[in-house]
Structure formats: C-alpha cells, structure tokens
Amino acid sequence: MPEEDWAVDYEAGRKLIEATGSRVFEAPIHIEGGSIHSDGEGTLVVTEECLLHPSRNPHYGKAGIEAVLKEYLGLEKIIWLWKGVAGDDSVVNGHVDNFCCFIAPGVVALAWPNDENDFNDPQWEISIDAYERLSNTTDAKGRKLTIVKVPCPPAIFRTYKEAGGLLADHYDKGYTPRIPGERLSASYINHYKANGGAVLSKVCACVHARMYLDPNCKTVNVESREVLLNAGNVHCITQQQPAEW
C-alpha cells in the first residue's frame, strides 16, 4: 500500500509517544507485537514460522534475527518453537501470542489440542513439537519450564456469510483473501494482561482460559470471533502501556 495510507496510524503512534514521554529507538528488523513474548527476565519465545517467514526479514536469517533481538531487547535466551496455532498461517504466519506465552517467570501456557487423541488434528503435531522443545530447554536463569496445557476450543471455520464481500476486495488490494471454510486460529492463549486483571477470549461460548491465570486475577471474558475473522484476538487489538521505563 502507498505510504500515505498509513499516515494516520503513524501520527497516532507519535502522539502516544509525546503524551507518555516514552523513549523510542529505531530497530533494523520488522516484527509485530504478537510475534514475540518475553518473561521480563531475559527470555523470549518466538516461532520459526513467523520470524523466519520471507515476508519479514529474509536478509537476516535466524542467527541475524536472534542477534538483533538480543541486542535491542536485552535478552539472554530465545526459545524457538516450530509453528503457531493451526489456521494461523495465512495472515500473520504463526504469531506466538496466540500459541504460547509466559504467565510467570519459568512458567508458560501452551495451546493444546481440544482432543489430544485426535491425531488427525493439525494442532496435535504442532503442540507436541512445542511441548518437546519447551521440555528440553531452560530459560535465561537456568530454570526448567513448567508447561501449562490450555485446550483450544473445538475447531471453528469461517462461514460463507462471514467471507462474503471480502474475497474479491482482498484480492484486488493485494491482501490475503478471507476464504469460506478456512480454519480460524482460535485459542485461549491470546489475552491482554493488566495490573490485577486480564481480558480473555470467549470463543464458542466456552471459557477455558481461567485455568492458567492466577486465581486472584480478575478476568473479563469477551466474545472475540469478529476479531478472529481477521486473524487476531484480544491481544492483537490491545497494547499495554508501561507506567515507567
């Protein structure tokens, strides 16, 4: 898209910087907030599917991307998972925030197949691979990771009605088309965490997400299918603002 099409978005970001007095610096790689997740103590979790996708930083390669992330984010260790949630491949290429996240230092929540005995579910192979990688590594502090399995909702798919009017328009503009019958990347991992509370996804009128949060954490559950139709979820349409740096 022409650069001027993003002028309002760019200006909004600058206004936020001015209002908060935040420190800002330019980084040499392109990533999205949902493509990285940190424990705040030197460890980052990412997916190869996303960060190594040719649409982002093909000239850097895995070692180059890891070096930049460590330098700019003050990291000591990066844990590379294989893929993101099944169905999350066509738009954001397997964002980790929809699949695996730190819920405390040394503890990760991992999206798990709704039926772990359904070996035909593409989520099964992805989750098993991630579980093995996480089980056979440590964080930056040398801790073995505690892995909390969070079952995904039953597989859901974009309806013809939900895709109506978008298919041709997206093709014409060069966007990834929204295809009827396409699996949606539904999980309960993608959430927004605030001080003392969290906003969680409520997909298919099911609520599994509380199981992996602090029981004292206040939660709000929102129906997020409309967001999910555009390859995102709660975390993708929110942004935490640190009180201070």
Catalytic annotation, residues: 236
CA distance 68 to 52: 13
d(CA 107, CA 144): 9
Structure tokens at 186: 């539904």
> Would you state the structure tokens that stand for residue 167, as one six-digit string?
């298919």
Closest CA to 41 of 86, 7, 8, 73: 73
Buried b (16+ CB within 10 A) or exposed e, 37-64: bbbeebbbbbbebbbbbeebbeebeeee
